[in-house]
Every structure is written in C-alpha cells, then in structure tokens.
Chain A
Amino acid sequence: MTRLTYNLVVVDQGGGSTADRVFHALADPTRREIVALGLAGEHSVSDLARRFPMSFAAVQKHVAVLERAGLVRKRRDGRQQLVCSDPDTLQEAHRLLDQLETVWRQRMDRIGDLLAEPTGGDPP
C-alpha cells in the first residue's frame, strides 16, 4: 500500500509540489482514463469529451490538471487541441507488475478469509 503511494510519489524525488500534482491528478478516475487513452496516441479534447459523460469544458479542466502534472502534453493543430500522454512521467513497466502483485496479494488474502468462513453460509 505504502509502496503504491510511494511509486507515484517517487516520480519526483526532488520536492513535494510536483509529486503532489501527479498524485492529485491521478486520484480521479476520469483523468486516469484520459492518461490511459493518451498512451495509445493523440486524441483531440472534443474526441475525449465524447467518451465521457461530461461537457467539453469539464474535460478541458481535467486535461489542464494532467498537463500541470506533466502527465499529458497538449498541442494545437488548427482548431483542434491534441492531447497525448507523456510516458517519461509515467512508471516503468516493472512497476505495473509490482502493482499487479499487490492487487493479487490482496485478492489472495480475501479468498483466504472467504475460505476460512464456516461452509458457504448454509444454515445447518
């Protein structure tokens, strides 16, 4: 748990403020999805707005938060604003495997608890 948090914070060891921004930026599910989509390639803000049940302005605000945290980059192409994720700011692949390990350790714990219960909830 601490390590997961640490993984995010370790992005910037130099000081608190950038780490706080990254952490805050990733605390929101919509923003995490924008980052994930942005890794596959560029998306216009209007394309992103179509994918989420929210206004263009709301998506634009999310993108701005991500941009300040250095998680996405934005560029203009004519009238469009194109957004892509910045992989340098993101964790390396092995951290994903570490996180997957944590997720599964917790699942194994819960399965263990479930199996330790008296049989299946059927009253005798």
Chain B
Amino acid sequence: MTVNSVEKDLDSRTMTITAHFDAPVERVWQVWSDPRQLERWWGPPTYPASFTEHDLSPGGRAAYSMTGPEGDRHHGWWRFTAVDAPHRIELEDGFADDQGRPTDGLPSMTMLVTLTEQAGGGTTMAIRTTFPSSEAMEQMVAMGMDEGMRAAMGQIDDVLASAVTS
C-alpha cells in the first residue's frame, strides 16, 4: 500500500486521500462491501468497530459501534446515497446514540469513495471527506479530537497516567 496524495482544502472543507493497493478492484471493493472485512480496518486496534447493519445499496443504511479499552462504546451510522459496484460509493457518516439513532445536534460528513483499476495492475482508492459547513467543522474539531485521541490512546497511556496523578 502506498499513499499517493493528500489534499486538504479549508474553503471547500474537504480532505482527499489517495492510496494504491496491489490488488484487483473487485478485491478492494470487498473491504467496503463485506462488513466483516470492514470491521477489520474502520476502527483502530484500540477501538475495534462492529457493524450491526450494512445494506450497501442506494438509500441503504449501515450502523456500527466502536468499543474502547474501558468498554466505552461509540455509535455511528452511514446512509449510502450512491453505490456503483465495484467503483464508487457515496455515503453520509454521522454519530448515533446507543440505539443507533442519529444524534441531534451533531453534524454528519459526506464521503466519496472511488476505486480505479490501474493499467499496470492494482487499484487506486480515493476517499474524499466533506464537512457540510464551517460551523459543523468547528463542532467536528472536538469529535475529530475524539477520533484522533482514540487512535493515539494506546500510545499515550503513560502520559495520561502522569497527567491524572499530577
């Protein structure tokens, strides 16, 4: 796997990341279409994700939760707005309560996934994430910290321990 490019644009509130995988497009599609494979990469090892619903079709929904080291659970939902196997998925990604219902007052992001076969073999995957407004983005700063902190959590235990005891 090689990350080819990352583009961040504050005006359009987007982040686009492109990576190349040494596998055919049908195989790469499965990491999105098979919830058991999706679970293996969506959450960091310290916050594994579990998909309880996954209907990869236009208008279909997915529901997932991530469980942290202290048993804390964080719920999310997707709504697929466009699906064109094995090349394109558009979805909305938001926060949910513990019943899987979208949380009022927290913004959702849109994601565009495109898979492209490369002439020399392999597949390019591009993910474009868009925040709906700058207010939503400000709000997401806190939730972004959340995600970032989840990822960092495993490695900062010592630092946290000293911060707590000081």
Contact = CB atoms under 8 A, between A and B. Distances in A.
A5 B143 CA distance: 15
A101 B15 contact: yes
A32 B146 contact: yes
Q: Is the interface of A mostly helix, strand, loop or mixed?
A: helix
Interface residues of B, number: 54
Interface string B134-146: 1101111111111
B28 A115 contact: yes
Interface size class of A (residues with CB under 8 A): 35 or more
Contacts of B15: 97, 100-101, 104
Interface of B: 1, 3, 6, 8, 10, 13, 15, 17, 19, 21-23, 27-28, 30-31, 37, 40-42, 44, 68, 72, 74, 105-106, 125, 127, 129, 134-135, 137-149, 151-153, 155-156, 159-160, 163-164, 166
27 contacts: A1-B152, A1-B155, A4-B149, A5-B156, A5-B159, A7-B148, A20-B166, A24-B160, A24-B164, A29-B68, A29-B146, A32-B142, A36-B139, A40-B139, A90-B141, A93-B137, A96-B140, A96-B141, A100-B144, A106-B44, A108-B3, A108-B19, A108-B125, A111-B19, A114-B37, A115-B23, A115-B31
